[in-house]
Amino acid sequence: MKFRVLQIISLLFSVAVQAQLQNWTHFRGLNLNAISESANPPTTWSETNNIRWKTDLDGKGWSSPVVLDNQIWLTSATDDGKKMNGLCLDFNTGKVLFNILLFTPDSVQAKHSINTYATPTPCLEKGFAYLHFGTFGTACVSTADGKIVWKRTDLNCNHVQGPGSSPIIYKGLLILHLEGVDEQYIVALDKRTGKTVWKTERPAKVYEPLAPIGKKAYITPIIVNVNGKNQLISNGSAICQALDPETGKEIWHVIQGTDSTIAMPVYENGLVYFIPRFVDSPTGEKYTEIIAVNPDGKGDIAQSNIVWRHKIPVLQLLTPVVKNGLIYMVDTQNNLLCLDAKTGKDVYTQKMKTKHYASPVYANGMIYFVSGKGETTVLKAGKNLNIVTENKLPGEVFATPAILRNQILLRTDKSLYCIQEK
């Protein structure tokens, strides 16, 4: 009898874990790493093939879809930024459940022509959605009825080119990055009340030599565990820092780069990988690097803990995905790169047809790359280039897809598609 009870408990635990893995609660997924647990995601589709449903969206936004249980959340805004909304759709049908007007700023900052006022991706937990529009406001919404729980509009900076950094949930905190030309700081809010718990400014000594335009950043951080202690890895325009996520106090840093960082840091097998925006060489050459760091250190670890550097073109936008010792990405010159994660050496390269803004996603041994023109290249993960399929949907794509429950949620400039093989 006791053995039978243990079997039932084990089964229930397994079911609960599987249910958790089939959600996609943050930008780049449940664990912020763009790795899907889907066992059989689709690899072939078109506008008329393997589309489970399609929902046209009001306004514009590059926020990625996030999913918890039967709800999909994303954000949208008018082109002029005068209205900023949170949207909730039914996962099974695509029906809009909530369309919540969250912010109506009296005035808005300018933005880059390829950005929107609704680019940060929401994050979800049971009962609550957290929707962030950078300096224009942050809101917590009840997922049960769409009612606003709390709002903040006093966490400000001058983005210059529009908002981009997505929020993350850590235990009882909601962590935000506000890094503009005027102010650069990371803030943790009590996720139930919206009140500030801690605030950490980027080090003034590092940022003072930079021109104002070089101080902005748009990154989303990650959480890694090092020797049993969690670290918040955050790379700003001039420095990559590890902070204690409970207090905001710095653990280590690497000073590197100038100007706005966008790509997230990534992590696998004990190494952190980050991409600064610009490196100014003594010869005047501008480039950037992928930098591999051992995060087991204190203070300035630039001379002691950097494992390797790999030079790439400037202006890196998308975040790489790392899986089984290989790093996959597309650089700003449209080169698909596969790097050895231990050494930083090239495994292979392939010229792509057009620019990519959405970050790649790994699912079931495949890497999904979506271009700005809605073309998705599906390649087999591994040390040899093996393109499995190429697919296309109409419209522009900047949002990173969500892959879960053997389905793909892909947002274009006008619609959200649910892709599922029949």
Question: What confidence tens digit (pLDDT) does each residue in 125-167 have?
Answer: 999 999 999 999 999 999 999 999 999 999 999 999 999 999 9
Residue 138 structure tokens: 């942050």
**Distance separating alpha carbons of residues 371 and 156, to the nearest angstrom:** 32
Joined tokens for residue 5 = 């009870």
Query: What does pLDDT average to over the chain?
Result: 92
At 281 the pLDDT is: 67
For range 26-36, the mean pLDDT: 97
DSSP 297-320: --EE-TTTSEEEEEEE-S---SPP
Where residue 290 falls among pLDDT bands split at 50, 70, 90? very high
CA distance 113 to 166: 19
How large is the average pLDDT for residues 112-132? 96
Q: What percent of the chain has pLDDT over 70?
A: 94
- Express each pLDDT in 360-374 by its tens digit: 999 999 999 999 999
Class of domain 42-58+319-355+357-422: mainly beta
Least confident of 14-28, 38-52, 365-379, 392-406: 14-28
Nearest to 128, CA basis, from 80, 177, 76, 86: 86
pLDDT score at 9: 42
Q: What are the start and end residues of each CATH 2.40.10.480 domain in the chain? A: 202-316
Q: Judging by DSSP bridges, how do beta strands 173-179 and 168-170 pair with one another?
A: antiparallel
pLDDT at 35 over 50: yes
Q: What is the pLDDT of residue 12?
A: 39
In residues, how long is the chain? 422
Lowest mean pLDDT among 4-8, 41-45, 115-119, 246-250: 4-8
Burial 300-329 (b: 16+ CB within 10 A, else e): ebbeebebbebebebebbbbbbbbeebbbb
Q: What is the pTM of this model?
A: 0.92
Residue 3 has pLDDT above 90, yes or no: no
Distance in angstroms (rounded) separating the CA atoms of residues 250 and 335 = 35
Q: Read off the pLDDT band of 280 (50, 70, 90).
A: low
pLDDT for residue 314: 81
Q: Which residues pair with 185 in a beta bridge?
A: 178, 201
Secondary structure E strands in 182-228: 184-190, 196-201, 222-226
Question: Has residue 37 got a pLDDT over 80?
Answer: yes
Written as one string, the DSSP assignment of 359-418 is PPEEETTEEEEE-TTSEEEEEE-SSS--EEEEEE-SS---SPPEEETTEEEEE-SSEEEE
Residue 5 has pLDDT above 70, yes or no: no
Examine the pLDDT at 1 and tell me if it is beyond 60: no
Q: Are strands 266-268 and 239-243 parallel, antiparallel or unpaired?
A: unpaired
Share of the chain above pLDDT 90, in %: 85
Query: What backbone phi and psi angles, to 5 degrees, belong to 206?
Result: -80, -35
Q: Position of tokens 């909530």?
A: 98
pLDDT of residue 305: 97
The CATH architecture annotation of domain 202-316 reads Beta Barrel (2.40)
CA–CA gap between residue 348 and residue 163 (Å, rounded) = 34
For the residues 287-303, what does the mean pLDDT come to? 94
CATH 2.40.128.630 domain residues, the chain = 42-58+319-355+357-422
